[in-house]
Amino acid sequence: MLAKRIIPCLDIKNGKTVKGINFENITDVGDPVELGSLYAQMGADELVFLDITATNEKRKTFSELVTRIAKHINIPFTVGGGISTVEDVSVLLDCGADKISVNTSAVRNPQLIYDLANNFGSQCVVLAIDTKFIDGEWYVFLNGGRIPTDIKTVEWAKQAVELGAGEILLTSMNNDGTKDGFALDITRAVSESVNVPVIASGGAGTMEHFIDVFKEGKADAALAASIFHYKEIGIPELKRFLKERGIEVRI
């Protein structure tokens, strides 16, 4: 049976992991490769590396990092942050990335999704959506959640999948950082309106939240950062907890 996926997300700045992370077993907590390898050993199903510098002059640092990740890590990984052209993606895939994620650039230019799917296949095109609930409706936000749009989230997800997006990474800004749980209603709404996997993100605080997002939110995968980085929840214990409660996971 296809397993629900647990995906730690690592924010990268100038080739280093950003969030203060306390792990004893690794020598350099700032090294994305060491941290990623550790998560892979612990049972993470995939990894996401988000380049939050993503300025042109730093892009080379990031692509070098992607090559190092691909050399050392034996599970699939997605890279994102500041990707806006077919050429950007070509470079990252050549470095060994399995998938790339696009967000703002795809809203500004939806044709990009089509071009990426056409050139490299839908399987490597992840559409990231930052969404916020305002006056009874979920809207798409851009530039890391700083710029509002009047685009409705479900409509955008459907359009993107028609254009060729192979997966949706949905982050609820209302929930992100709260540790009060994932946004179950919008996750479910998106998951039920597209025929590609939906990765839920934002709000994970307890192990029960993962049960909720898989059962009620109908998510195919769940992404989290700080609860893993700060060891509030260990991936092995999370997976055992999910399995005991009837959620199919890879152990």
Partner 1 sequence: MKVVIIKYNAGNVRSVLFALERIGVDAIVTDDHDEIRKADKVIFPGVGEASSAMKYLKERGLDKLILSLKQPVLGICLGMQLMCSRSEESNTNTECLGIFEQEVKKFPDNQSFKVPQIGWNNICGLKSGLFKDIPENSYMYFVHGYYVGNGEGTIAKTNYILDYSSALNKDNFYAVQFHPEKSGETGQKILENFIKM
Strands (DSSP E) found in the chain:
5-13, 16-17, 47-51, 77-80, 99-102, 125-134, 137-142, 147-152, 167-172, 198-201, 221-224
Nearer to partner 1, 54 or 124 (CB): 124
x-or-dash string of contact with partner 1, 129-168, rule CB under 8 A: -------------------------------------xx-
DSSP characters over 41-83: HHT-S-EEEEES---GGGHHHHHHHHHHHHHH--S-EEEESS-
Nearer to partner 1, 5 or 209 (CB): 5
Strands 5-13 and 221-224: parallel
Q: Which part of the chain contacts partner 1 (CB under 8 A), choosing from 80-88, 105-113, 121-129, 148-156?
A: 121-129
Is 45 a binding residue for partner 1 by CB under 8 A? The answer is yes
Site for partner 1 in 94-113 (CB under 8 A): 94-96, 98
Cβ pair 169, 220 in contact under 8 A: no
C-alpha span between 6 and 14 (Å, rounded): 26
What is the nearest approach in angstroms of partner 1 to the Cβ of residue 163?
16
Is 221 a binding residue for partner 1 by CB under 8 A? The answer is yes
Question: In the numeric block, which tokens belong to residue 186?
Answer: 């919008």
Please pick, from the candidates 10, 21, 40, 116, the single residue that binds partner 1 as defined by CB under 8 A: 40
- Residues catalogued as catalytic: 11, 130
Interface residues toward partner 1, by CB under 8 A: 1-3, 5, 40, 45, 70-72, 74-76, 93-96, 98, 120-124, 166-167, 195-197, 220-221, 250
